[in-house]
């Protein structure tokens, strides 16, 4: 079936609240319904209002290759059972259910969604775009709101009770068993989600970008505001490029295996910033797809490149397994509560290159492993350093190693840099002023005017720990001389 929208034409289809169907039949169930392939093409306009159920539906492949479409549906707006492909179209969706959905769960090669280009504006009560198997975004401009947006969050900071649409919490963070709520993710794939480019803006009450399997981001500009996780993959997550901003989330980035190789990432979270800790996080209770991946499975984080900034209410990096870092920049404005730490890992943190700054609470503070190839320093102070107070380290010649301005109160400060040399002595100052510019807390350029001298340290091992000891088992500490 081919639906051609003549250039300049304005077309309108609206159905009723009920359909008169043959006994035992449940189709057709959409204002525009095809039992075969459906292609919508042309340069005209089409408005679809579906009171009964779905807006546009194909039982096979659905191709939208042009036109200006506006679809309002009681349930799903646009469905292609086997596949949906969108190119050079302008689509606006207002759906009680999913915005775009491909749901073939019989053939693993089908149930796919491909966005090649175009402009999509989606407001959905459930998922924005859902693919039963693979979802690929090559290009285009996407604006997606799901479940009323992140303001209709499933959680509050710390994962405690809320009274939003996602149901009530019981004592100790349990959920009422009667709650039965739909998934309301921004982008959702059953097996694989790939983002190659485009401009994507998501405001979701559930995860903003979610895969039940693997997820890869190679490019594009993504802005996510989430009531749950910003970016989540059950199995593995790989980010090779792009410009990603997670302005609000419960956990910023989450998967079993995380590989950060390039791009720019800024993630703000009420709990962990980057999480590979396994299990069901508390944010998902009471809804389907509870972000389940087993904590018994090996979790890991590898940082090979990119520029990553984390502002976390919980752990900055929370990894139930090893961390490796051989490139890139990681800046963490971590937790203020001692039950969390800017760095939280199991096993080892092997650091061979790159630039790391992690500021947070002292109670569970960790530093990179002593077997690392690049030197690190962890400074734990006897009293908290107020937000906005400068932390400055300089070498014996007075050359600056770092001037950092934490956005929150902190008592532990970790830095790893190629500038830290074995055998060299460094001075530490707290407070003071700088004429330099603040870039994500790192003061670049300018002149530093000293505050209070905290003390000095000399690097004799790969990980130098100075100041009061943290409460983290296996983390030694010492006083400034």
Dihedral angle of Cα 409, 413, 419, 422, to the nearest 10 degrees: 160
For residues 3-32, average pLDDT: 90
pLDDT in tens, 103-138: 998 998 999 999 999 999 999 999 999 999 999 999
Q: How many CB atoms lie within 10 A of CB 284?
A: 24
What integer pLDDT is reported at residue 321 of this predicted model? 95
| Percentage of the residues of the chain whose pLDDT score is greater than 90 | 81
- The residue written with tokens 């407001």 in the block is 123
Residue 269 · residue 290 · CB < 8 Å: no
| Percentage of the residues of the chain whose pLDDT score is greater than 70 | 87
Residue 269 · residue 232 · CB < 8 Å: no
Q: 17 Cβ partners below 8 Å, 6+ apart?
A: 51, 52
Residue 30 · residue 50 · CB < 8 Å: yes
pLDDT in tens, 294-316: 444 589 999 999 999 999 999 99
For residues 38-59, average pLDDT: 97
Lowest-confidence region among 66-75, 112-121, 271-280:
271-280
- With a cut of 80, say whether residue 283 has pLDDT above it: no
For residues 322-331, average pLDDT: 98
N-terminal to C-terminal alpha carbon distance within the chain: 81
What integer pLDDT is reported at residue 478 of this predicted model? 37
pLDDT band of residue 160 (cuts 50, 70, 90) is: very low
- Picking from 248, 216, 229, the residue whose alpha carbon sits closest to that of residue 290 is 229
Q: 407 Cβ partners below 8 Å, 6+ apart?
A: 311, 333, 387, 388, 441
Lowest-confidence region among 66-80, 165-179, 397-411, 418-432:
165-179
What integer pLDDT is reported at residue 175 of this predicted model? 35
pLDDT in tens, 87-109: 999 999 999 999 999 999 899 89
DSSP state of 161: -
What's the CA gap between 219 and 263, in Å, rounded?
Answer: 8
For residues 74-81, average pLDDT: 97
- With a cut of 90, say whether residue 71 has pLDDT above it: yes
What's the CA gap between 166 and 284, in Å, rounded?
Answer: 10
| Residue-by-residue DSSP string for 158-194 | TS----STT--B-GGG-B-TT-------SEEESSEEE
pLDDT in tens, 432-473: 999 999 999 999 999 999 999 999 999 999 999 887 655 554
Phi and psi of 154, rounded to 5°? -80, -15
- With a cut of 70, say whether residue 287 has pLDDT above it: no
Burial bucket for residue 16 (CB in 10 Å: 0-12, 13-18, 19+): exposed
For residues 213-237, average pLDDT: 97
């Amino acid at each position: 079936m081919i639906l051609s929208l003549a250039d300049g034409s304005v077309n309108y289809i609206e159905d009723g609240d009920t359909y008169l169907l043959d006994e035992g039949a449940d189709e057709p169930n959409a204002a525009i319904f095809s039992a075969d392939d459906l292609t919508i093409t042309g340069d005209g306009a089409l408005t679809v209002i579906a009171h009964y159920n779905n807006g546009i539906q194909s039982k096979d492949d659905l191709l939208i290759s042009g036109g200006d479409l506006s679809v309002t549906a009681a349930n799903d707006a646009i469905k292609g059972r086997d596949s949906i492909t969108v190119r050079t179209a302008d689509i606006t969706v207002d759906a009680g259910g999913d915005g775009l959905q491909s749901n073939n769960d019989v053939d693993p090669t089908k149930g796919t969604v491909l966005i090649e280009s175009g402009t999509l504006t989606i407001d959905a009560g459930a998922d924005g775009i859902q693919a039963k198997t693979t979802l690929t975004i090559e290009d285009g401009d996407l604006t997606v709101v799901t479940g009323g947006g992140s303001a209709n969050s499933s959680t509050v900071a710390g994962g405690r009770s809320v009274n939003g649409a996602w149901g009530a919490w019981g004592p100790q963070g349990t959920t009422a068993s009667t709650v039965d709520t739909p998934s309301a993710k921004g982008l959702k794939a059953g097996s694989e989600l790939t983002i190659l480019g485009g401009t994507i803006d998501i405001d979701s009450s559930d995860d903003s970008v979610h895969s039940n399997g693997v997820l890869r981001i190679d490019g594009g500009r993504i802005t996510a505001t989430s009531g749950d996780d910003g970016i989540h993959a059950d199995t593995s997550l790989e980010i090779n490029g792009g410009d990603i901003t997670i302005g609000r989330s419960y956990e910023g980035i989450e998967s079993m295996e995380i590989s950060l190789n390039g791009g720019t990432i800024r993630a703000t979270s009420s709990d962990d910033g980057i999480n590979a800790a396994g299990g069901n996080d508390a944010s998902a209770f009471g809804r389907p797809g509870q972000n389940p991946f087993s904590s018994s499975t090996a979790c890991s984080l590898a940082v090979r490149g990119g520029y990553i900034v984390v502002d976390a209410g919980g752990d900055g990096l929370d990894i139930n397994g090893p961390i490796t870092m051989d490139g890139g920049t990681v800046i963490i404005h971590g937790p203020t509560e001692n039950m969390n730490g800017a760095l939280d890992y199991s096993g080892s943190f092997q650091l061979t290159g790159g630039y790391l700054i992690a500021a947070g609470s002292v109670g569970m503070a960790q530093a990179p492993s002593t077997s690392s190839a690049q030197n690190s320093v962890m400074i734990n102070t006897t009293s908290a350093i107020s937000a906005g107070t400068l932390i400055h380290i300089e070498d014996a010649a007075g050359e600056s190693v770092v001037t950092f301005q934490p956005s929150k109160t902190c008592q532990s400060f970790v830095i790893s840099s190629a500038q830290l040399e074995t055998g060299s002595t460094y001075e530490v100052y707290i407070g003071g002023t700088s004429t330099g510019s603040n870039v994500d807390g790192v003061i670049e350029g300018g002149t530093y005017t000293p505050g209070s001298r905290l003390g000095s340290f000399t690097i004799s091992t790969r990980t130098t720990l100075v100041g009061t000891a943290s409460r983290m088992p296996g983390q030694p500490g010492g006083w400034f001389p």
